[in-house]
Amino acid sequence: MRARFAAAGLVFVVAGAALPAQAPVGSFTADQAAAGRAAFDTTCVSCHGSGQAPPLQGAAFVGGWGSRSTRDLLTAVQAMPPDAPGGLPQATYLALTAFLLETNGAVPGTQPLTAATNVPIDRLFRAPAQAFPAGPPAGAADAAPASAAAVSN
Ligand code: HEC
């Protein structure tokens, strides 16, 4: 009995080790990100775009989430909104997660984000310079259009 459990655990670990070999970009689609942007504007921006809650775009977000996975981010998104965690459809939570990845610089692809997607987020962000404000002065100008774009539409 115990040996059987151990064997099952081994298979799981081997399968998990294979995950990072997946494509580093394209872990969500542009359609998902667009749907997520719309949901963000109606459900999230009242707090996250007003200073009541931490901003979900920019260097602080990229720095804080770069070392974690898309599944960690999905879990955090599913805990929102605070007065009704888990209250939105799963497809909406996936779309919101895709939007947060895209708005922070990740590039969409053909593979949709699913609850099983578990890719390290720093492999999706294409501009590592964003994570550190100590870069060249030109980098500072990038932050404004990103947040302005998230508020419009
Ligand atoms: C009533 C205000 C409010 C609303 C609406 C809201 N949030 Fe939040 N959110 C917060 C607060 C406050 C925090 C920080 C404390 C915490 O993590 O619970 C937070 C934290 C988060 C985090 C973690 C941030 C980090 O860097 O750790 C994510 C991701 C997030 N919210 C996404 C969303 C999404 C997506 C929506 C829309 C479905 C949403 N929130 C709606 C108030 C809100």
Does ligand 1 have an atom closer than 6 angstroms to the CB of 95?
no
Instruction: Name the residue with the closest Cα to ligand 1, atom 15.
Output: 53
C-beta 38 within 6 A of ligand 1: no
Q: From the CB of 46, is ligand 1 less than 6 Å away?
A: yes
Per-residue pLDDT of the chain (153 residues; tens, 9 = 90+): 555 555 544 444 444 444 443 445 679 999 999 999 999 999 999 999 989 999 999 999 999 998 999 999 999 999 999 999 999 999 999 999 999 999 999 999 999 999 999 999 988 876 444 444 444 444 444 444 444 444 444
43 within ligand 1 shell (Cβ under 6 A) = yes
CA distance 152 to 113: 24
* pLDDT score at 25: 64
List the one residue out of 58, 87, 73, 63 whose CA is nearest residue 150: 58
d(CA 133, CA 53): 21
Q: How far is the CA of 8 from the centre of ligand 1 (A)?
A: 37
What pLDDT shows up at residue 61? 92
| Per-residue pLDDT at 5 | 53
Q: Where are the domains of the chain?
A: 26-151
